[in-house]
Amino acid sequence: MTASRTRGGFATGALKVHSSPAAIAPVTRALRAAGRRVLLIPTMGALHEGHRELIRHARMTPGSTVIAVSIFVNPLQFGPSEDLSRYPRPLEADLEACREEGVELVFTPQVEDMYPDGAGADSGTTIVPGRLADQLEGTVRPGHFAGVLTVVAKLFHIIGPDVAFFGEKDYQQLILVKKMARDLDFPVHVVGVPTVREADGLALSSRNVYLSPEDRVRAATLQRALAAGASVSVRGPQAVLAAARDVLAQEPTIDVEYLELRDPDLGPVPAEGPARLLVAARLGTTRLIDNVAVRF
């Protein structure tokens, strides 16, 4: 079934698609007033198994719920040399995936709906994320998390979700969104959903399609390195980092940007208890990130 985009909203099967904030906001408000809990999965489209897992996870929420998926490639979170113009935008396939997963509402705004003064760095009001946003991903992608949090804050205001679901693959994003919800008193429960992986361990990402066949094979090294690190956690943080580094070093075409151990909130690594091992690396022109839980 094909679906066209309109300013108001339209239904395809049980799925309702809205492209303007003014159209979807009263719908979710009325649903909440009628006692339904609104569950939001924010995405940039190009939906894959990882997104489907977020939807399935949302579906397990008890009570009378309605699932909303937003699809918006957010220019504010892309750096000047990043892949905004070539980012995949397969809207019809995304709507089909939502339909297959039993999603009730899809929000597909245009850039001008979200950023009336344009999406330039100095165009409008933005969220200031705090110091954590300058670390890890922030060292390589300055301004990225200000863009992410600004669009997520807008989605929270427009849709008013009771619960919002984010993948653990983008772990720093998940932690920063949780922090923003707490710091700015958004009445939303932010839930992290475990990463979905290919058979060889590669974390699913919309950007995996950019990998050449050779780099696609090498990409699984990231997860092998994280697993090698996690497997020696009884020997302490230095052993974890060394084991992960050894695996990464076996693949010299992988350009590692960072490999770090942190506590689960991304503070300094603890002497004991739960921690997170995070990696970012370039393979050819593609940048990949991944992380795993570790326990000391």
- Contact of 252 with 222, CB cutoff 8 Å: no
The correct pick among 39, 151, 164, 247 for binding ligand PAF (CB under 6 A) is 151
The correct pick among 17, 38, 44, 244 for binding ligand PAF (CB under 6 A) is 44
Residue with tokens 């997520």: 152
- Contact of 264 with 178, CB cutoff 8 Å: no
Interaction of residue 149 with ligand PAF, rule CB under 6 A: no
Could you tell me the smallest distance in angstroms from the CB atom of residue 36 to ligand PAF?
Answer: 22
Nearer to ligand PAF, 180 or 247 (CB): 180
Nearer to ligand PAF, 28 or 77 (CB): 77
Nearer to ligand PAF, 152 or 288 (CB): 152
Could you tell me the smallest distance in angstroms from the CB atom of residue 116 to ligand PAF?
Answer: 18
Q: What is residue 200's three-state secondary structure?
A: coil
**Would residue 51 show up in a list of annotated catalytic residues for this protein?**
yes
Residue 217: partners with Cβ closer than 8 Å, 6 or more residues away: none
Could you tell me the smallest distance in angstroms from the CB atom of residue 177 to ligand PAF?
Answer: 7
Interaction of residue 43 with ligand PAF, rule CB under 6 A: yes
Marked catalytic residue, from 48, 51, 144, 157: 51
Taking CB under 6 A as the criterion, which residues in 168-197 touch ligand PAF? 170, 173
Interaction of residue 42 with ligand PAF, rule CB under 6 A: yes
Nearer to ligand PAF, 112 or 246 (CB): 112
Interaction of residue 113 with ligand PAF, rule CB under 6 A: no
Interaction of residue 101 with ligand PAF, rule CB under 6 A: no
Could you tell me the smallest distance in angstroms from the CB atom of residue 159 to ligand PAF?
Answer: 12
Could you tell me the smallest distance in angstroms from the CB atom of residue 80 to ligand PAF?
Answer: 17
Closest CA to 28 of 213, 216, 160, 164: 160
Q: Can you list the alpha helix ranges (DSSP code H) found in 65-212? A: 91-100, 111-114, 137-140, 144-159, 171-183
Interaction of residue 152 with ligand PAF, rule CB under 6 A: yes
Residue 257: partners with Cβ closer than 8 Å, 6 or more residues away: 140, 280, 281, 282, 287
Give the DSSP H or E segment for 130. none
Q: Give the binding range for ligand PAF (CB under 6 A) out of 36-44, 91-99, 184-192, 238-246.
A: 36-44
Interaction of residue 74 with ligand PAF, rule CB under 6 A: yes
Read out DSSP for 35-96? TPEEEEEEE-S---HHHHHHHHHHHT--SSEEEEEEE---GGGS-TTSSTTTS---HHHHHH
- Facing residues of 289 across strands? 280
How far, in Å, are 178, 195, 226, 258, 262 from residue 171 at the CA level?
11, 10, 14, 14, 11
**Token duo for residue 284:** 């050819």
Q: Which residues here bind ligand PAF, judged by CB under 6 A?
A: 42-44, 74, 77, 148, 151-152, 170, 173
Catalytic residues: 51
